[in-house]
Amino acid sequence: MASLDSVSIAIFLGAILVMAGILSSLLALRFGAPLLLVFLGIGMLAGDAGPGQLNYNDVRTTYLVGSVALALILFDGGLRTKFQSIRTVLAPSMVLATIGVLLTALVTAPVARYVLDLNWTESLLVGAVVASTDAAAVFLLVHTQGLRLRPRVGATLEAESGTNDPFAIFLTLMLVEFISIGQSSPGHVVFELAREGLLGAVIGVIGGRLVVLALNRVALPQGLHAPFVTTAALVIFGVAQIAHASGFLAVYLAGIIIGNRPTRAHNSVITFLDAATWLAQIVMFVLLGLLSSPQRLLDSVGPAVIVALVLMLAARPIAVFLCLVPFRFNWREKIFIAWTGLRGAVAIFLASIPMLVGLPKAYLYFDVAFVVVIISLLLQGWTLAPAARWLHVALPRVDRGPRRVELDLPGQLEQQLVGYPVRPKSLYFRRGLLPSWSKPTLVIREERILSPAEADPVAAGDYIYLLAPPEKAEALDRFFVDMAPSSAPDPHLLGDFMVSGEHTLGELAQIYGVSAGEEHATLTLADYFDIHLDHAPKVGAELVLDPIVLVARSISGGRVNVVGLRLPEDEEQAVPLTRRQKARRKLAEIWSSVAGV
């Protein structure tokens, strides 16, 4: 009976942990990354050195759980990454994810050698373990703290954090192999790196395309799409690892492929993975906390703190500034990217590899990584939002999106049903605007179901359902949140070919002879952009209004308030592309063709 009781206690404690993980998503909105340290602390308290007195030293299980958790986290990050948002920053992100990781390890190694009394190879291993930024920590902090970063900065950080783990893992494994075997040629290292990267990319792209095909062709029962996609991600990861390719790169690319293609039950997949990645992070942090020893940490905390400070204040900034020299980032953006080099569970996970293979001083790598992660999450994690504002890389915050309800229609990939509460200060309620690609289908008012004609005019507090393409559904949010105050356009910006966004199409038709149509004559230019763009308006956005082109020149309150007019006779001749621009365009075309995005 005692054994049965122990099983029951284990189930009870496991359920409590799962419940804590679910509730922690609410706390994360306020506390961010330091919340993850709570679960490290739980693991430490439950360990043999804490009141829990649980003797846990199963490195193999921890490595297995960590691999699965990291694979899911990277897959979820890829699934949320829109290719259009990162294609312009692929080059700097890839440089940071490879050369940046190597430079960070090289700069950290001499300090580790001096303060930890290691040889050069062991010092490089310490540098490699802590060199990569943690995708989970970056995604968590940026999203839960409500940061709206400048698009290029945010996209660079997302792409770098999602792709630098494979290189850090490769570097760590190569150094562990060298320390274990004692020999390795530069040619072997280059060959292994190329093979793992290329093979991982191929498996990821093919696997992602197969998952998209299966999702859209196989009639799975309702509710099984999300578990199917999650399991498929782990299959892709396992196939790549068995083939000695980079499973982490493969699963991240597969996520990008799936996330950028129309698929069934896309929203339920995203929601399911939200919960799965949260639980994966929690379980990984608790197990890593169980492996740690407060007594060992106290013995090495001094040197580890020095390594952490050098990493944050010297190694990472040097790597970032050198890697971004060829790219047009200003000094504020470089400083912020350098400061957002957050370390998380990945560093501790990598430090468990020497323990798994039984290297000398294996626990020293683990303890150093543990201290580095704690300091990084506390110091960098809590100061990320103030740093973004101080360096002017954060855009003004907006209200969180409305409670959007999305329903996939069986057998229909082109349209889905999207529902919103109608707010009294929303763009839809005040201006009656909806994009041209959406169609109202029903309105719920006081528990009555009405057609749009019966509900006209829609009242505040109603709930409206619209048909919209799945890939554009999120763009509807801006029509149902409270309108931000709009400032008047600067009169000095307005000239013969620059007009206020509050002018109507009818006024424009009288002056320039364009055909606006009676139904559009009363629309303002700002309204016209809202209706016809499939995303929130940005500076430089263009719309054709024969025979002229409207160009968004200034944005205020989320709407266009200054519009430029490009007349036919003013069309400039195309500027010849440089070789570098041609090469980048060609690479983008090749990727789009292969990935199908």
Cα–chain center distance at 8? 38
How far is residue 381's CA from residue 314's CA, in Å, rounded to a whole number? 18
Is residue 597 scored above 60 in pLDDT? no
**Residues 205-261 pLDDT 10s:** 999 999 999 888 887 777 788 899 999 999 999 999 898 888 888 998 899 899 888
Question: Confidence class of residue 574 from pLDDT cuts 50, 70 and 90?
Answer: very low
> Strand, helix or coil at 224?
coil
Lowest pLDDT segment from 121-135, 246-260, 404-418, 530-544: 404-418
**Residues 292-345 pLDDT 10s:** 777 777 778 889 999 999 999 999 999 999 999 988 888 889 999 999 888 877
Share of the chain above pLDDT 70, in %: 76
Q: Average pLDDT, stretch 514-526?
A: 73
* Residue that the structure tokens 């979820």 belong to: 76
Lowest pLDDT segment from 5-19, 363-377, 426-440, 539-553: 5-19
pLDDT for res 26 = 60
Is residue 515 scored above 90 in pLDDT? no
Q: Average pLDDT, stretch 151-161?
A: 82
Lowest pLDDT segment from 47-51, 152-156, 358-362, 396-400: 396-400
The H-or-E segment that residue 44 falls in is helix 34-46
Of 187 and 79, which is predicted with more confidence?
79
Question: Confidence class of residue 573 from pLDDT cuts 50, 70 and 90?
Answer: very low
Is residue 514 scored above 60 in pLDDT? yes
Is residue 376 scored above 80 in pLDDT? yes
Q: Average pLDDT, stretch 147-155?
A: 78
The H-or-E segment that residue 544 falls in is strand 542-545
The answer to whether 282 and 17 have CB atoms below 8 angstroms apart is yes
How far is residue 414's CA from residue 468's CA, in Å, rounded to a whole number? 8
Of 307 and 28, which is predicted with more confidence?
307
Is residue 432 scored above 90 in pLDDT? no
Torsion region of 513: left, alpha or beta (phi above 0 gives left; psi -120 to 50 gives alpha): left
Q: Average pLDDT, stretch 530-552?
A: 78
- CA–CA distances in Å: residue 365 to residues 374, 438, 456: 14, 55, 67
88: phi then psi, degrees, rounded to nearest 5? -80, -15
Share of the chain above pLDDT 90, in %: 13
Closest CA to 145 of 486, 392, 380, 431: 380
Residue-wise over 102-138: b if at least 16 C-beta within 10 A, else e? bbbbbbbbebbbebbebeeebbbbbbbbbbbbbbbbb
Question: Confidence class of residue 519 from pLDDT cuts 50, 70 and 90?
Answer: low
pLDDT for res 472 = 72
Question: Confidence class of residue 571 from pLDDT cuts 50, 70 and 90?
Answer: very low
Question: Confidence class of residue 586 from pLDDT cuts 50, 70 and 90?
Answer: low
Q: What is the dihedral of CA 331, 335, 340, 346, to 10 degrees?
A: 100
pLDDT for res 235 = 94
**Residues 192-204 pLDDT 10s:** 778 888 898 899 9
25's CB contacts (< 8 A; 6+ apart) are 274, 278
**Residues 29-74 pLDDT 10s:** 555 555 667 777 777 777 766 666 677 777 888 888 888 888 888 8
pLDDT for res 145 = 63
Token pair in block for residue 588: 């983008």
**Residues 64-119 pLDDT 10s:** 888 888 888 888 878 877 777 677 788 898 899 889 999 999 999 999 999 988 88
pLDDT for res 592 = 56
In terms of pTM, does the model score above 0.75? no
